[in-house]
């Protein structure tokens, strides 16, 4: 599990996962249904990426995101 505290750590973690899987940025973009530019910007830590697209990339890499310390019941 990777603790993510910045967009840069998220980008670095996703880049490392992509490389472990032997995928190019283009291949990952195709698998996730996003543009190559999006993958490049995501891996670079761009702070304004769209969460829905981030989640598609994470899913394409076989991962998931989990929040800790956040009460999901709204209490």
pLDDT at 68 over 90: no
pLDDT band at 52 (very low <50, low <70, confident <90, very high): very high
Cα–Cα dist 53/50, whole Å: 6
Computed over every residue of the chain, the mean pLDDT equals 91
Report the pLDDT value the prediction gives residue 72, as an integer from 0 to 100. Answer: 66
Instruction: Please work out, in degrees rounded to the nearest 5, the angle formed at the alpha carbon of residue 43 by the alpha carbons of 66 and 21.
Output: 75
pLDDT at 71 over 80: no
What the chain holds in terms of domains, given with CATH numbers, is 7-60 (1.10.260.40)
Asked whether the beta carbons of 42 and 14 are under 8 A apart, the reply is yes
Asked whether the beta carbons of 24 and 60 are under 8 A apart, the reply is no
């Amino acid at each position: 599990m990777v603790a993510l505290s910045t967009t840069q750590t998220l980008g670095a973690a996703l880049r490392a996962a992509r490389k472990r899987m032997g995928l190019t940025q283009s291949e990952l973009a195709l698998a996730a249904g996003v543009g190559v530019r999006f993958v490049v910007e995501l891996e670079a830590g761009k702070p304004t990426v769209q969460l829905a697209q981030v989640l598609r990339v994470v899913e394409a890499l076989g991962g998931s995101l989990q929040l800790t310390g956040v009460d999901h019941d709204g209490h």
